[in-house]
Amino acid sequence: MQGNIKQLLAEIQTGDVKALARGITLLENELPGYEDLLLQLSHTQAARVIGITGPPGAGKSTLTNALLHHWVDAGKKIAVIAVDPSSPFNYGAILGDRIRMSDFYTNPNVYIRSLATRGALGGLNPKIIEITDLVKNAPYDLVIVETVGVGQSEVEIAGLADCTIVALVPEAGDEVQTLKAGIMEIANIFVVNKADRESAETLYRNLRIMAHEKAADGKEIPVVKTVATVQQGITELADAIETYLHEHNELPAKRVHLLTEKSWQIIQAKRMKDIDRRKLSEALANALQQPAFNLYAFTRAFESNT
């Protein structure tokens, strides 16, 4: 098994996309060997991660597609991880993403993988950190992670990405003031997409004012206007991303927080591995018959007996 995994990783590192797809499936489903694969990953990956988040329909997939056109034309190799809502009602959207990005499905310089979100409250795929780490071991210049901005996922994407883009659309115009603080705090670049719509100018102006108010060390968060469907503003956006990455070689502030959480989860899963809930329930039912039953003494005894 260990030899196979070594071989698989070597293939991934040389740019074999079939091997990469197999590796992701291994991690996503915790198939045999997935821990070996994780343990062998290299931390010295060159690829930087760009997070694109924002409300559903803001044009994140269209922006991703437009950025792919821009960077592939410039000779870059790009991987895309699209985290789509897993609700069956959103199946059309998943299909839509696939169709829209299909220009690239046979392009050797592009790798695209859709992942389901898990959990009713949104959030990223539970294996997003592992999968991103794996993709970073493949020879891509950039990794784009597209996520729907709902609740917890915003904090996650900010920890995961080296540059986080928040995409908004004119409909949000008057609501900038009321937009959740969360999504504002994580943006390294704002995009006003669908700038072909009338009210785009208002949203743009409001965001600029806000970016100015929040400026740290005289540096304002860039706000870029785009019409993703016709590739308008994409060069400016790509430039803003490249400038940001160039000026920020340090780890994003939220990375430690995110990885601490991940590490905690891994330890928790390992420690709980031997606890069989059914056995616990049976033992508890028996112990409960005793007049001297004490839940805490029982729990301590059960734990030290397993």
**Rounded to an integer, what distance in angstroms lies between the CA atom of residue 99 and that of residue 137?**
27
Q: Which residues bind Mg ion (CB under 5 A)?
A: 60-61, 97
Q: How far is the CB of 13 from ligand GDP (least distance, A)?
A: 30
CA atoms within 13 A on the CB side of 155: 11
Looking at residue 14, the DSSP 8-state letter turns out to be: T
Q: In the stretch 71-100, what mask flags binding to ligand GDP with x, by CB under 6 A?
A: -------------------------x----
Q: How far is the CB of 49 from ligand GDP (least distance, A)?
A: 18
Residue 283 has, within 13 A of its CA and on its CB side, a CA count of 17
58 binds, among ligand GDP, Mg ion, none (CB under 5 to 8 A by kind): ligand GDP
57 in contact with ligand GDP (CB under 6 A): yes
Amino acid identity for residue 224 in this structure:
V
Is residue 59 a contact residue for ligand GDP (CB under 6 A)?
yes
Least distance (Å) from Mg ion to the CB of residue 21?
Answer: 20
* Closest approach of ligand GDP to the CB of residue 174, in Å: 19
For 222-233, letters b (16+ CB in 10 Å) and e give bbbbbbbeeebb
Query: CB under 6 A: which stretch of 52-60, 131-139, 244-252, 257-265 binds ligand GDP?
Result: 52-60
Query: Does the footprint of ligand GDP cover residue 196 (CB under 6 A)?
Result: yes
| DSSP states of 119-177 | STT----TTHHHHHHHHHTSS-SEEEEEEE--TTHHHHHHHH-SEEEEEE-GGGGGGGG
Residues in contact with ligand GDP by the rule CB under 6 A: 56-62, 96, 193-194, 196, 227-229
